[in-house]
Structures are given as structure tokens and as C-alpha cells.
Structure 1
Amino acid sequence: MNFIKTITAAELAQKLDNKEPLHLIDVREHEEVATGMIPTAQHIPMGEIPVTLHKLDKQTPYIFICRSGNRSGQVCLFLQEQGYDVTNMVGGMLEWTGEIVF
């Protein structure tokens, strides 16, 4: 089994508070992100990831987010196998207590 890097919602919130330059990608469906996303996150639904690979840079570290951390974990496994630098936010938006944008 491949090891996937993880970050907790609290750790991510701390990095955002510290103004670290992060590349967040929310892989939830359109109706899910309508309930709010983490500021600066880019929305690419999970099903669209394979056809949007050309938009992602293998040199850029990405943090993937979903509702619970399951789908983003699957996306991370897929992208890691393609040579991307990925981290999964464990617990997903269910654990997020920070700011959200609509």
C-alpha cells in the first residue's frame, strides 16, 4: 500500500493563518461546494480529475479536500501514482472549523 501524506483540518488552518502559499483542491460535487469551501481552494470534482491532469503541475504540492477525506484520499492515491506531490486533508470538511466562502 502506498503511503499518502496527510494533514488535519487544524494543521491546514494553522498554515492558512500563517499565510503559507498552499494549493488546495476541493474534489466534492457542485452541490456540496455550494455549502461553502475553504478560502483559496480550487474546485475540481473528483470525476473531472483524470481529464484535468494537464492543468496540474507535478512540481507543485497540492492538498486535496472532500467531505470526509475518503474521496480526496482516492484522488491522492491516483495522482501520487502519476507522479504528483499530494496531501490528503483527513476528516475533510466535516472536520473544518475555519472560514468558508460561498
Structure 2
Amino acid sequence: MTVPSVEVNEVPAELGGKVLLDVREADEWAAGHAPGALHIPMSELAGRLGELPADSELYVVCRSGGRSARVTQYLNANGWDATNVDGGMQVWQATGRPLVGEVEGAEPEVV
């Protein structure tokens, strides 16, 4: 099964009704994430599907693209319009896209 994917630079800076879903774990999220992203760890996704908008296009991101590819397949098989973000947050940071963190006094980073 082919997973629909986009490069980081194809994710719009202004999501405008689309959702960037970050499926990394809590410690990864806290260290650094995209502003405005929705955080639902892959391990919690099945129990939190109700938090996903049914009528929005979803961009799914993790650290490097592996977990998000699996989540994208799962979501598309269950009626969502999901696209994997190739290279994940590592490429996001490397290309200078904005990051915010939850760790006080620490520069946001992708771990």
C-alpha cells in the first residue's frame, strides 16, 4: 500500500483549516514541535480518534517519518484524508521551519 507523502517544504506555513498531527511521544513533543500542531502520540491514537476533525486534511508527522507513515495508512483506511510528512521533524528543523518547546529555558529542538 502506498502512503501519500509530501516533503516538509510542501506543508503550508499557514495551515488554513488543515491539521498538522504530531504522533511523537510526550518527551519529544515537549523538546520541540511545530507551532499549532495537534499532539496525539501514536500509542494513544486509537483511543483519541474523536479529537481528530473528520472533515480536515491531516498532515501526519513524527521524528523521521516511520511512525507517521504507519499512522497515515491507518487513518486513510479509516476514512480520514491523511498525508505523511517525509523526513519528519528532523527535516522540519533542518530546513529552518519554526519550532516551539515546552521546556522552560531550553531552545526548542527535535530529539
Where on the TM-score scale, by shorter chain, does this alignment land: which range? 0.7 to 0.9
Does the C-alpha gap of structure 1 residues 101 and 6 become closer, same or farther in structure 2, counting only changes over 3 Å?
same
* SS of the residue 1:34 aligns to: helix
Aligned-residue CA RMSD (Å)? 1.2
The answer to whether the aligner puts 1:94 opposite 2:90 as a matched pair is yes
Normalising by structure 1, we get a TM-score of 0.88
Aligned to 2:60: 64
* SS of the residue 1:99 aligns to: coil
Question: Structure 2: which amino acid aligns with 1:9?
Answer: V
Unaligned 5+ runs, structure 2: 102-111
Normalising by structure 2, we get a TM-score of 0.81
- CA shift for structure 1 position 53: 1.1
Identity in percent:
37
The runs of 4+ residues in structure 1 deviating greater than 2 Å are none
Q: Higher helix fraction: Structure 1 or Structure 2?
A: 1
Aligned residue pairs total 97
- CA shift for structure 1 position 34: 1.6
Unaligned 5+ runs, structure 1: none
